[in-house]
Amino acid sequence: MINKKSIGVFDSGYGGLTVFESIAKQLPDYNYIYFGDNARAPYGDHSFETIYKYTLECVEWLFAQGCPLVILACNTASAKALRTIQQKVLPVKYPGYKVLGVIRPTAEVIGGYTESKTIGVMGTRGTINSESYLIEINHQFPEVNVVQQSCPMWVPLIENNEHVNEGADYFVKKYIDQLLAQSGDIDAILLACTHYPLLVPKIKGYLPEGIALVAQGDIVARSLVDYMKRHSEIESLLAKDGEMRFYTSGDHEVFDAHASIFFSKKVVSEQVRL
Ligand code: DGL
């Protein structure tokens, strides 16, 4: 049992490491526990019920390790599970514990990235079908038109380390073309899946000039910096030794070998059975 209070960072697998990297850069003093549910990833095509059940199990595991604050560094889990956990589970079972997602902080600033007032959102089927970004962006920036595209092959390509190879080009071009065919006014594309930053070099090759690509890591990290300033009741609980621990529900050696493509430091993880 770890008694030091840490910030929990959760993703279905590796993608959350792209967000964690930004968080750890902007808030280096805190202790962190990263948990990837690799044994059950990808989440993108699972039902609402399954994503909710898996996410809640992982969040409860992080609470049990001494994390009073958990970040869902996964759009799919944020879209499908966050609201129910925040509204139905925390007040009843875990008063005082907090769970934050990545969709709201991204939607709060995304309007600033588009001049044409038309933004493309690319994500997993789960995220896109939930319409969470449509709803949240419309709430924050009613003048911005949101054009969505699901990209079901992108996470499997990345998880299998095929995203750097030629075969990936077909699916990168396919989803970019499908997105741009929906509107000629898009001038910014949000990568609404924490895995997708790894595809940026390939995506850029298929984008016309003048379309900006927006990844979420720094946006989410800035929002967390602000959250810490506003929530001293949580901030004051947290240990500040700059420690990072990594856990996976999958094979820890596979995780460590693969994590380095998402996270620039060497990762040594432990395997957890939920
Ligand atoms: N990286 C996750 C996200 O941000 C999803 C990956 C998955 O499908 O498990 O949506």
Question: How far are the Cα atoms of 29, 125, 227, 233 from residue 230, in angstroms, in the given order?
Answer: 17, 34, 5, 9
**What are the sequence ranges of the domains in the chain?**
7-102+218-271, 104-215
Residues sharing a CB contact under 8 Å with residue 44, sequence separation 6 or more, in sequence order: 12, 76, 124, 125, 126, 127, 152, 155, 193
pLDDT tens-digit series, residues 226-238: 999 999 999 999 9
pLDDT band at 3 (very low <50, low <70, confident <90, very high): low
pLDDT value of position 159: 85
pLDDT tens-digit series, residues 169-220: 999 999 999 999 999 999 999 999 999 999 999 999 999 999 999 999 999 9
The DSSP string of 56-98 is: HHHHHHHHHTT-SEEEE--HHHHHHTHHHIIIIIHHHH-TT-E
Cα separation of 81 and 70, whole Å? 13
**Does 83 have pLDDT greater than 60?**
yes
Ligand 1 center to 199 CA (angstroms): 14
Residues sharing a CB contact under 8 Å with residue 261, sequence separation 6 or more, in sequence order: 14, 161, 198
Asked if residue 103 lies in contact with residue 73, where contact means CB atoms within 8 angstroms, the answer is no
Across the range 3-8, mean pLDDT stands at: 89
Ligand 1 center to 25 CA (angstroms): 22
Ligand 1 center to 119 CA (angstroms): 20
CATH of domain 7-102+218-271: 3.40.50.1860
Q: Which atom of ligand 1 is nearest to the CA of 194?
A: 4
Cα separation of 100 and 16, whole Å? 13
Catalytic annotation on 193?
Answer: yes
Catalytic annotation on 67?
Answer: no
Marked catalytic residue, from 58, 67, 74, 151: 74
Whole-model pTM: value is 0.95
Cα separation of 36 and 163, whole Å? 20
Ligand 1 atom 8 nearest Cα:
44
**Does 2 have pLDDT greater than 60?**
no
**CATH class as words, domain 104-215:** alpha beta
Residues sharing a CB contact under 8 Å with residue 117, sequence separation 6 or more, in sequence order: 143, 144, 145, 185
CB distance 55 to ligand 1 below 6 Å: no
pLDDT value of position 66: 96
CB distance 105 to ligand 1 below 6 Å: no
Across the range 133-144, mean pLDDT stands at: 98
pLDDT value of position 1: 45
Cα separation of 134 and 142, whole Å? 10
pLDDT value of position 261: 86
Q: Which atom of ligand 1 is nearest to the CA of 42?
A: 9
Question: How far are the Cα atoms of 88, 104, 113, 172, 257 from residue 118, in angstroms, in the given order?
Answer: 34, 18, 10, 21, 39
Across the range 119-129, mean pLDDT stands at: 97
**222's tokens:** 């800035």
Domains 7-102+218-271 and 104-215 fall in the same CATH topology:
yes
3-state secondary structure of 136: helix
